[in-house]
């Protein structure tokens, strides 16, 4: 989940703020919030960032460790490419397609 602190920083990168806990009640403005960022703006930005994060779950799933369903290790991929060139096979393409099919882009 995207936290309050990162939502504030996404609104104003140079905000001088500390957040205790996971709600807007824990915000401590060390710079007196000079741009008057509201709690509603923070919560809206947090929801926006969370939605963006959620839409990229397929990317995180594809890059998990191979034993957890992600792409093969890079060395294994290079070995597949080499053998595909030498043997005329499609092992690399098949392996990558299987991961992409298992974790499709929305």
22 and 46 together in one domain: yes
pLDDT digits (tens, 9 = 90+) for 84-99: 999 999 999 999 999 9
Q: Which of 56, 62, 49, 48 is nearest to 106 (CA)?
A: 56
41 and 79 together in one domain: no
40 and 69 together in one domain: no
- Residue 27 is assigned to a structural domain of this protein: yes
71 and 34 together in one domain: no
Tell me how many domains the chain contains. 2
Tell me the residue range of the domain where 14 lies: 4-55
Residue 1's pLDDT is what?
64
Reduced to 3 states (helix: H, G, I; strand: E, B; else coil), residue 59 is helix
Residue 57 scores a pLDDT above 80: yes
46 and 71 together in one domain: no
- Residue 50 is assigned to a structural domain of this protein: yes
14 and 42 together in one domain: yes
- Residue 23 is assigned to a structural domain of this protein: yes
- Residue 60 is assigned to a structural domain of this protein: no
Residue 106's pLDDT is what?
87
> Quick one: average pLDDT of 5-32?
95
Sign for the pseudo-dihedral over CA of 80, 81, 85, 88: positive
> Quick one: average pLDDT of 69-92?
97
Question: Which string of DSSP letters, residue by residue, matches 17-78?
Answer: EEE-SSSGGGEEETT--TT---HHHHHHHHHHHHHHHHHTHHHHHHTS-GGGT-PPPHHHHH
70 and 40 together in one domain: no
51 and 69 together in one domain: no
């Amino acid at each position: 989940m995207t936290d309050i602190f990162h939502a504030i920083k996404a609104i104003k990168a140079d905000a001088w703020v500390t957040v205790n806990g996971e709600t807007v009640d824990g915000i401590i403005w060390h710079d007196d919030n000079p741009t008057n960022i509201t709690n509603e703006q923070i919560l809206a930005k947090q929801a926006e960032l969370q939605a963006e994060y959620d839409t990229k779950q397929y990317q995180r799933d594809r890059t998990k460790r191979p034993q957890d369903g992600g792409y093969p290790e890079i060395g294994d991929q290079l070995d597949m490419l080499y053998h595909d060139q030498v043997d005329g096979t499609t092992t690399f393409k098949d392996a990558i397609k299987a991961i992409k099919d298992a974790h499709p882009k929305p």
